[in-house]
Homo-oligomer: A and B are copies of this chain.
């Protein structure tokens, strides 16, 4: 099938051009007409650098993995979706027979095929064929734009799940980038009573603070450990989410956590970071690490349907499909007040 798509030809070279995509509709698949696609930091990273760690773009590849659209065709065995359903899609499809998949840990399946991770094409194109099991109907009050936000929100929500939040926990999120903000919202939606968020950029902190009971801490001006200590009677935060992954963030996380607390590592440092094991031991901290997410999309949609979380303030910039390259250039030099760029295929 030939269609127009946003193709990363090689590092720093994008084309909006026709491409042949070989996708056949299986019995348990649906064909979805794409409506909105969000631009993720990883898309921009492939655009700028042509690779993320071991994943190297060697052939032209369609970008995009945060998508919402409309079901246009269903396979013969599909039972839960029908033509016309508004949906969003989980971009990674595992081997159902893999050992990790059978255990429910499908995000850890080494054979997973994930949109816009070389050599798998992404979704910045008019149509995709996708398994029913990884396609989710949008509630009526959830827009396509919000639907395309489910994917990055799922990262924060998976982190919140791993933390095993108890209702009323106090959380800290290190970093007020897109994932940091989404994690703060996920922490609140997941049961936290309040969240401290750190950054060095005042506009980001101001935006974060407007989203709920979120206390900004500008670490250029204040000590996170002191702020949390003061607010918790010297006890510390129940959960600390590291959404930056810098060399110093591990120590910062340990310092802010309470005895018996938990740290969730979301950010991916480029090299090993120093880990003060004894500092963690005297508090008996639990450290969770996450890789993408699993089983989270229906939960995200449930929270969005009931407005327990509102992602709309984070959709800050929209572009038409015809302007996709401009969208990527905009996203490559993002302004402090911009959080999420989306491309609408209309």
Contact = CB atoms under 8 A, between A and B. Distances in A.
Interface in A6-35: 28
A283 interface: yes
Contact of A299 (B106, B166, B302, B306): B166
Given A160-B191, A273-B275, A284-B290, 12 more contacts: A28-B97, A103-B104, A166-B190, A167-B186, A193-B301, A193-B308, A194-B302, A245-B277, A281-B289, A282-B291, A286-B288, A287-B289
Contacts of A307: 213
A278 B290 CA distance: 9
A300 B107 contact: no
Contact of A191 (B108, B189, B213, B265): B189
Interface of A: 28, 53, 80, 96-97, 99-108, 131, 133, 157, 160-162, 164-170, 186, 188-194, 212-213, 233, 235, 245, 250-251, 259-260, 265, 267-269, 272-278, 280-291, 295-296, 298-308
A284 B28 contact: no
A268 B167 CA distance: 23
A287 to B, nearest CB: 4
A212 to B, nearest CB: 7
B299 A289 contact: no
A165 B194 contact: no
B104 A303 contact: no
Nearest to A190: B167
Contact of A287 (B131, B287, B303): B287
A213 to B, nearest CB: 3
A26 to B, nearest CB: 11
A285 B104 CA distance: 15
20 contacts: A96-B96, A96-B97, A97-B131, A105-B284, A108-B260, A108-B283, A157-B167, A161-B166, A164-B164, A167-B190, A168-B303, A189-B191, A213-B308, A250-B275, A250-B277, A268-B277, A268-B278, A272-B274, A272-B275, A282-B291
B191 A165 contact: yes
Nearest to A131: B97
Contact of A108 (B101, B245, B272, B284): B284
Nearest to A156: B167
A299 B168 contact: yes
Contacts of A308: 188, 192-193, 213
B161 A189 contact: no
Listed residue (A169, A274, A287) with the most chain B CB atoms within 10 angstroms of its CB: A287
A295 B102 contact: yes
A2 B48 CA distance: 63
Nearest to A168: B299
A245 B281 CA distance: 12
B167 A105 contact: no
Contacts of A269: 277-278
A102 B80 CA distance: 15
